[in-house]
């Protein structure tokens, strides 16, 4: 086998390509984790140093472990979630302290404390992580017995306070994270709409079904944007450094709500397009209308980062919505084709509200049918 053999070339290129892709993903993962790493390191170090050097606690292990466990490496570290996790861990430490005071330390005391902590935690929260965080801290408090009674509870409270303070001072969910999630949703929306448009222009049933699948998958992107946006808004409420972003995040929430409705209505359009394309006939008029709506959605996307572009986005969608009269557009159209154009009407309204027009005004622009 020579060096020019195709199998040899493919055997070399594919692994290298896969390696580069894997390295890019890993570097991106590290980059995305930098805010979380900064939070954890700063908060845990500060909590330990305060408990040890200021309060004189000999081994304030729980001050650091509570901080690390409450913050974690998840991207969505909302203040209320951090507070909830802190409360769970403090409950576990409190139970361990009570067991130590009343029964001392030992193997069966560990069993009693862990059982009680797990049952109480499951009663307080439906989240499995809440119970696990509580029992781990309870176990540490029972195994590492140092200092006066309830000293570890104070350490835990210090760690929890440090976690909440650093959540405000070193925001984890930055604006670029929220915008990246929005971009991913708009990317997926653009691909889904383009697929449906091509299917209608060619009468391609297989492509139409692919467009329907892509439209159905949009909810995952909507949920991801919802999480990062809500996290950003909650952090902005308590962070002195993000006050200027509150109004912008509120505007993005309005766009997100409208896009959520738009993706649902696109699924209706996609289902009707898939049904129509089964006969193999081309349908250029509905295809052109949906393509124009897709261009309007693209302008809405651009307006997220630059509010001055909202008028252009509204103008683009208004140019379509005023023509969405199925009978006028398709005087000889069948019922299915008329219903397809009718299904675009609520989609156009959603895009207009995403571009900043009140819903009532957007609906008023629709032709009467």
* Per-chain mean pLDDT for the chain: 88
pLDDT band at 152 (very low <50, low <70, confident <90, very high): confident
State yes or no: pLDDT of 355 exceeds 90: yes
- The pLDDT of 216-242, averaged and rounded, is 85
Share of the chain above pLDDT 90, in %: 59
- The pLDDT of 181-202, averaged and rounded, is 96
Contact 245, 235 (CB under 8 A): no
Task: Name the range with the highest mean pLDDT among 232-236, 294-298, 329-333.
Answer: 294-298
Q: So what's the pLDDT on residue 254?
A: 94
Q: So what's the pLDDT on residue 76?
A: 59
State yes or no: pLDDT of 5 exceeds 80: no
Of the listed ranges 142-146, 168-172, 247-251, 349-353, the least confidently predicted one is 168-172
| Tens-digit pLDDT profile for residues 46-76 | 999 999 999 998 889 899 999 998 887 765 5
- The pLDDT of 25-51, averaged and rounded, is 87
Q: So what's the pLDDT on residue 199?
A: 96
Q: So what's the pLDDT on residue 174?
A: 62
Q: So what's the pLDDT on residue 75?
A: 59
pLDDT band at 275 (very low <50, low <70, confident <90, very high): very high
State yes or no: pLDDT of 271 exceeds 80: yes
**Which pTM was predicted?**
0.72
Q: So what's the pLDDT on residue 74?
A: 66
| Tens-digit pLDDT profile for residues 297-335 | 999 999 998 899 999 999 999 999 999 999 999 998 889
pLDDT band at 9 (very low <50, low <70, confident <90, very high): very low
């Amino acid at each position: 086998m020579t060096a020019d053999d195709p199998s040899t070339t493919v055997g070399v290129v594919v692994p290298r390509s896969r390696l580069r892709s894997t390295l890019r993903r890993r570097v991106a993962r590290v980059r995305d984790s930098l805010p979380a790493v900064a939070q954890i390191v700063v908060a845990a170090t500060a909590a330990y140093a305060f408990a040890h050097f200021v309060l004189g606690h000999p081994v304030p292990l729980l001050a650091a472990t509570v901080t690390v466990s409450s913050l974690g490496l998840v991207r969505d570290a909302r203040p209320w979630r951090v507070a909830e996790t802190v409360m769970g861990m403090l409950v576990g430490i409190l139970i361990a302290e009570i067991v130590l005071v009343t029964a001392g330390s030992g193997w069966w005391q560990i069993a009693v404390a862990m059982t009680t902590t797990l049952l109480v935690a499951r009663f307080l929260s439906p989240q499995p992580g809440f119970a696990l965080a509580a029992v781990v801290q309870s176990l540490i408090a029972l195994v590492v017995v140092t200092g006066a009674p309830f000293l570890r509870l104070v350490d835990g409270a210090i760690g929890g306070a440090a976690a909440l303070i650093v959540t405000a001072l070193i925001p984890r969910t930055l604006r670029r994270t929220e915008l990246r999630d929005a971009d991913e949703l708009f990317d997926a929306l653009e691909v889904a709409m383009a697929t449906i448009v091509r299917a209608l222009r060619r009468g391609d049933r297989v492509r139409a079904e692919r467009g329907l699948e892509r439209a159905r998958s949009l909810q995952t992107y909507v949920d991801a944007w919802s999480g990062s946006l809500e996290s950003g808004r909650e952090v902005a409420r308590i962070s002195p450094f993000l006050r200027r972003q509150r109004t912008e995040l509120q505007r993005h929430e309005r766009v997100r709500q409208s896009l959520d409705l738009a993706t649902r209505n696109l699924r209706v359009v996609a289902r009707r397009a898939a049904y129509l394309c089964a006969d193999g006939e081309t349908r250029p008029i509905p295809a052109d209308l949906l393509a124009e709506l897709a261009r309007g959605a693209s302008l809405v996307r651009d307006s997220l980062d630059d509010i001055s572009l909202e008028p252009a986005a509204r103008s683009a969608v208004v140019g379509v919505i005023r023509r969405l009269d199925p009978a006028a557009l398709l005087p000889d159209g069948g019922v299915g084709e008329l219903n397809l154009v009718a299904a675009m009407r609520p989609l156009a309204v959603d895009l207009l509200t995403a571009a900043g027009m009140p819903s009532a005004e957007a609906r008023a622009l629709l032709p009467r049918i």
